[in-house]
């Protein structure tokens, strides 16, 4: 039983991990950029920013195991600070793009995660690296259109994805945090249990909220423009890569791995279960929620 620090405790995976580690860690410290009242109250809360090394030094002090998000600009010094403060085990939230996308593609999402994985290794940590493929939480981007118009507009409704529940990623993270001896030095490619078309995902959300939702096909260019507007806008380049990836996955089936099953001993949750768990976000009466991070320029599945 270890003293554990969860960074990104306001994020979808970090928050789920915080709840899973409550009562299990000998001491649980949660890091957020600003103080928030909606985190587990029986844990210590600290504020800090990956880019502010002094704040991270305070956050790492006395912690044995750390769950780390990959920062927007990975910096080797962050890991050096962790090592100096006595952190022995790192569980890194990386991305499947590290193994799915060729280095020649110069994909910024893959490069960012590769860079962070390298820093973790070079700092000498026997880390556990989690590489989720597509997070089911990406579908929350549809919430506004579903609430307002009972519709989802996408360029390729037949595009296949294999989304994983954020709490399933947190489940693997919790195992790794609490048992570094068994999981240190290993990496896991995490997927959902079966590929599903976007159309089928929209139907599952409709089923969860008891309402029929139209899955409307729009031109690729209109989709890119839509994704590069609004509060959680991404750059045109990233939007174009995502749309190209959607087209590609109308022809290629995404991977299904057994990594979750191997660690947890049961299959990951089906998308239909994720939809039920998040039905409140899609109901017409739902209060619109701001994205967890204001700017998520590289959110979304790995693209190539
Ligand atoms: N989307 C996908 O399909 C996909 C696929 C593979 C991998 N991934 C990985 O998973 C991540 C998304 O996970 P998620 O959905 O749990 O994320 P999320 O809900 O967007 O949360 C991100 C967390 O990171 C924190 N954070 C951001 N910048 C920070 C900084 N400079 N210093 C300290 N904390 C900071 C945020 O804190 P604040 O609340 O203060 O903003 C927030 O708690 C992606 O960034 C990527 O690395 C995603």
Q: Characterize 101-136 residue by residue with b for buried, 16 or more Cβ atoms within 10 angstroms of its Cβ, and e for exposed.
A: beeeeebbbbbbbbbbbebbbebebebbbbbbbbbb
> Which residue's alpha carbon is nearest to atom 22 within ligand 1?
11
Indicate the length of the chain as a whole number: 304
Pocket test for ligand 1, best of 5, 7, 8 (most atoms within 8 A of CB): 8
Give pTM, 2 decimals: 0.93
| Cβ count within 10 A of residue 89 | 23
Answer yes or no: is the C-beta of 32 below 6 A from any ligand 1 atom: yes
Predicted pLDDT at 287: 60
Average pLDDT over residues 204-218: 98
Give per-residue pLDDT as tens, 63-118.
999 999 999 999 999 999 999 999 999 999 999 999 999 999 889 999 999 999 99
**Are the CB atoms for 234 and 299 separated by under 8 Å?**
yes
Give per-residue pLDDT as tens, 16-27.
999 999 988 999
Answer yes or no: is the C-beta of 134 below 6 A from any ligand 1 atom: yes
**6 CA distance to ligand 1 centroid (A)?**
12
> Which residue's alpha carbon is nearest to atom 28 within ligand 1?
71
| Joined tokens for residue 289 | 């929620």
Answer yes or no: is the C-beta of 7 below 6 A from any ligand 1 atom: yes
pLDDT at 40 over 80: no
Would you report the helix, strand and coil content of the chain in percent, each value rounded to 5?
A: 45, 15, 40
Pocket test for ligand 1, best of 135, 231, 304 (most atoms within 8 A of CB): 135
Structure letter (DSSP) for residue 101: S
What stretch of H or E contains 169? helix 166-178
Q: What span, in angstroms and rounded, lies between the C-alpha atoms of 218 and 214?
A: 12
Share of the chain above pLDDT 90, in %: 84
Give per-residue pLDDT as tens, 226-264.
999 987 788 999 899 999 999 999 999 999 999 999 999
Q: What span, in angstroms and rounded, lies between the C-alpha atoms of 15 and 13?
A: 5
> Which residue's alpha carbon is nearest to atom 26 within ligand 1?
8
pLDDT at 297 over 80: no
Answer yes or no: is the C-beta of 71 below 6 A from any ligand 1 atom: yes
Predicted pLDDT at 299: 37
pLDDT at 31 over 70: yes
**211 CA distance to ligand 1 centroid (A)?**
30
């Amino acid at each position: 039983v270890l003293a554990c620090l969860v960074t990104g405790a306001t994020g979808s995976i970090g928050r789920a991990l915080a709840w899973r580690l409550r009562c299990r860690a000998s001491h649980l410290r949660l890091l957020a950029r600003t103080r928030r009242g909606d985190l587990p109250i029986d844990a210590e809360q600290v504020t800090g920013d990956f880019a502010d090394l002094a704040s991270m030094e305070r956050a790492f002090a006395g912690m044995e195991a750390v769950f780390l998000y990959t920062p927007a600009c990975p910096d080797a010094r962050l890991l050096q600070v962790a090592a100096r403060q006595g952190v022995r085990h790192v569980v890194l939230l990386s991305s499947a793009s590290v193994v799915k996308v060729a280095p020649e593609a110069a994909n910024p999402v893959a490069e960012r995660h590769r860079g962070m994985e390298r820093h973790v290794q070079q700092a000498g940590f026997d880390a556990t690296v989690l590489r989720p493929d597509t997070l089911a939480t990406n579908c929350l981007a549809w919430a506004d259109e579903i609430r307002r118009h009972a519709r989802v507009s996408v360029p390729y409704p037949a595009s296949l994805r294999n989304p994983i529940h954020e709490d399933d990623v947190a489940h693997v993270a919790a195992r790794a945090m609490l048992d570094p001896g068994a999981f240190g030095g290993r990496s896991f490619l995490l997927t959902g249990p079966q590929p599903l078309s976007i159309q089928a995902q929209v139907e599952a959300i409709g089923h969860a909220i008891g309402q029929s939702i139209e899955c409307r096909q729009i031109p690729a260019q209109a989709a890119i423009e839509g994704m590069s507007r609004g509060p959680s806008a991404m750059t045109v380049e990233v939007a174009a890569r995502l749309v190209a990836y959607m087209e590609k996955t109308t022809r290629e089936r995404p991977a299904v791995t057994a990594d979750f099953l191997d660690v947890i001993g049961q299959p990951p949750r089906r998308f239909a279960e994720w939809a039920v768990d998040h039905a409140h976000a899609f109901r017409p009466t739902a209060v619109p929620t701001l994205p967890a991070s204001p700017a998520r320029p590289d959110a979304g599945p790995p693209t190539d």
